[in-house]
Structure 1
Amino acid sequence: MTRLRTLASRFAREESAATATEFGLVCFAFIVMLLAVIDMGRLGWTINTAKTATREGARLAVVSPIVSTYMATYDGTATYGGGGVVPDMAFSCTGSNTTCTQTQGSGGSPGFDNTTFNAVLNKMQAYQPDITAADVTITYRHVGIGKVGNPYAPDMEPLVSVSVANLTFTSVALQIFGVAPFNLPTMTSTLSGESLS
């Protein structure tokens, strides 16, 4: 019995493994913090490239033909008999089903110009390869700028918005704690379409 007491007291005083245990705990916390810092940088990079992609997409969209063929070929002279201001209208064009939807005003079939949409998509993918056609929306919102019968450009000069949605971010540090990948907010850039071809 005394031998058992001696072994128990020696075990209680033993400290040779304490340093290794403390190092393991501190090392785990340090690695998680390091991964979190790297993830924050990756998140910032992903958001920045997505914003840049929308800016570049908008810059290309405002110097290209309008994706909504109805808006591009709108003839205010035939509608109003010459002179006047084109009424407000808006079209939202997305690559998920290659269609444009009229979201404001009324008119004919919105149409869809694949050439312009694909050019904008390719420009955006140069910055963020994860972007797909279904993630991109180009919105043309006519706000009264433009002149019926303009012989040099479309009768409408809409505000052109290029949006990207549904981009996800996977955090390495948060996956350790069971957090699933999450969606980034929708990014949008808007420019005036005064140079539309």
Structure 2
Amino acid sequence: MTRRPSLLARLARDESAATATEFGLVCFAFIVMLLAVIDMGRLGWTINTAKTATREGARLAVVSPIVSSYMASYDGISQGIPGGGSVPDMAFSCTGSNSTCTQTQGSGGSPGFDNTTFTAVLNKMQAYQPDITAADVTIAYRHVGIGKVGNPYAPDMEPLVSVSVANLTFQSVALQIFGVAPFNLPTMTSTLSGESLS
């Protein structure tokens, strides 16, 4: 008399679903790897567009009026500097957060804030990276000796102009599956020398 194998023994020997199980395990790993490759491309694209935005912002800023109205309207002759003399070192950092400029080097009057120039630079940057907000952008001016006191055609200072964007975040689709939160991208900056700041 032959005994029939138990249900558990039959299930243990049954290999009809092994292929589906193996496919399920391999498919999950493949999908995660595919999402990771796509994420790397998205990350590279996001960083590249943010860098391009700062470059284009700097190009516009060097041919636009200085955001710090104090620096833009600085008159060396009224400050007792003879025509053709050198202007003392000074620097200003202007950000869209509360629309303020801060003097970071030297001393002077009220820094002021030219919203027209700042908005034009911001709009140019947003054409490349729409996620950029005014609070993310900083335009810094550092006088490095370029310019001439008493020049009637340009400001007394033609500073180095740096445009920075910060606080941009990136959300990875592949890492989000494992609960990883969005992370901040590094601050990106482009610097050009003032040309004919009008």
TM-score, normalization by structure 1: 0.94
1:21: Cα distance to partner? 0.6
1:13: Cα distance to partner? 1.6
> Does the residue aligned with 2:87 lie in a helix, a strand or coil?
coil
Q: 1:118 to 1:6 in 2, by over 3 A?
A: same
The answer as to 2:111 corresponding to 1:99 is no
After TM superposition, the structure 1 = structure 2 runs for residues 110-125 of structure 1, keeping only pairs within 5 Å, are 110-125=111-126
Once superposed, what is the RMSD of the aligned Cα atoms?
1.5
Identical-pair percentage: 93
1:12: Cα distance to partner? 2.3
After TM superposition, the structure 1 = structure 2 runs for residues 70-149 of structure 1, keeping only pairs within 5 Å, are 70-76=70-76, 82-149=83-150
| More divergent stretch after superposition (6-15 vs 102-111) | 6-15
1:6: Cα distance to partner? 4.3
1:5: Cα distance to partner? 4.7
> Does the residue aligned with 1:36 lie in a helix, a strand or coil?
helix
1:7: Cα distance to partner? 3.6
Deviation digits for residues 44-101 of structure 1 (CA, Å, limit 9, x no counterpart):
000000000000000000000000000000001xxxxx34111111000000110100
Q: Which residue of 1 aligns with 2:182?
A: 181
1:2: Cα distance to partner? 7.9
Partners in 1 of 2:32 and 2:146 — Cα distance? 54
Partners in 1 of 2:182 and 2:4 — Cα distance? 54
1:145: Cα distance to partner? 1.3
> Does the residue aligned with 2:146 lie in a helix, a strand or coil?
coil
Q: 1:114 to 1:13 in 2, by over 3 A?
A: same
1:144: Cα distance to partner? 1.2
Deviation digits for residues 97-119 of structure 1 (CA, Å, limit 9, x no counterpart):
10100000000000000000000
Partners in 1 of 2:69 and 2:146 — Cα distance? 18
1:10: Cα distance to partner? 2.5
Q: Higher helix proportion, which one?
A: 1
> Does the residue aligned with 1:2 lie in a helix, a strand or coil?
coil
TM-score, normalization by structure 2: 0.93
> Does the residue aligned with 2:121 lie in a helix, a strand or coil?
helix
Partners in 1 of 2:169 and 2:99 — Cα distance? 22
> Does the residue aligned with 1:5 lie in a helix, a strand or coil?
coil
Q: 1:8 to 1:99 in 2, by over 3 A?
A: closer
Partners in 2 of 1:131 and 1:7 — Cα distance? 63
> Does the residue aligned with 1:144 lie in a helix, a strand or coil?
coil
1:136: Cα distance to partner? 0.3
> Does the residue aligned with 1:65 lie in a helix, a strand or coil?
coil
4+ residue runs over 6 A deviation = none
Consecutive unaligned residues of structure 1, counting only runs of 5 or more, are: 77-81
| More divergent stretch after superposition (160-169 vs 10-19) | 10-19
Q: Which residue of 1 aligns with 2:8?
A: 8
